[in-house]
Amino acid sequence: SQLNTELDDFEFKFSGLWQFIPVCRTPCISIFRNFNKDRLAWIKEAEAAKKVKFMKSSHVPLLWRDSPVKPFRFNPRLEKEQQGQTYFVQVKAKFLPGRDVFGFVEQLDEPTGDIPGFLKASKKLKAEALREIKDNKQKQKSVDPPKNKSTDEQPKQSEVQSENQSLPEQPKKSQRQQNKQSVVQETDNNV
C-alpha cells in the first residue's frame, strides 16, 4: 500500500489525542477505536468484559519538542471550561529503542480541535467488567477441585510400597551391633 512505501523501518503513523496521562511523564498520543454504527451494534450485544477489551485505548509516548499545540493536561482542581483544549494530531514517528519511546519525524496534518468520533469505555462499564471477570474466576474455582502442590509432588503411598516390595528386606542392625562392628574394624586396622 501507499502507507507502507512512505514508512521506513521503525516508523509508524499515529492519529489520536495529544495529551498527558497520569502514569507517564512524557506526553502521549492516545489512540482510540473509530466510531461507526457496525461497531456500536456489536458493542450493544457483547458482554461487558469483551466491550472493555475491544474499546481499550493505546497510549504512545512521543518526544515532540516543537509541537504547534501544547499537549492537554487534566487538572482536577480546575473547572471543565478552564481545562484547555484537547487536540487531534496525525504524525509520523520513529521508535527509539534505547529510550523506549517514539520520536517525532513528521507532521502529517495540522492539529485540530475537531475530534473524530471514537469509542471509549466508561468507568462504570470497566467496573462492571471487572466484577464479571472476578465472578467467572470464582465460578471456575468452585467447579475445579483445588490442587495441592505438596500432595502432587510427593509420591503416592502405593508407589512407595511397590518400590519397597521390589527390594529385598535387610535386617536392621541395632545400635549395639553397629558399635561392635566399628570397634572390630578399628582393632583390625591397629594390628
In a domain, 17, yes or no: yes
In a domain, 48, yes or no: yes
Strand-pair category, 87-96 with 101-112 = antiparallel
In a domain, 155, yes or no: no
In a domain, 78, yes or no: yes
44, three cell numbers: 450493544
* Residue 1 pLDDT: 47
In a domain, 168, yes or no: no
In a domain, 187, yes or no: no
For the segment 63-116, what is each residue's pLDDT rounded down to a tens digit? Answer: 999 999 999 999 999 998 899 899 999 999 999 999 999 999 999 999 999 999
**Number of domains the chain contains:** 1
Measure Cα distances from 156 to 143, 161, 166, 168, 178 in Å. 25, 9, 16, 21, 33
In a domain, 139, yes or no: no
In a domain, 57, yes or no: yes
Q: Which domain holds residue 123?
A: 2-130
For the segment 7-65, what is each residue's pLDDT rounded down to a tens digit? Answer: 888 899 999 999 999 999 999 999 998 898 998 899 889 888 898 889 999 999 999 99
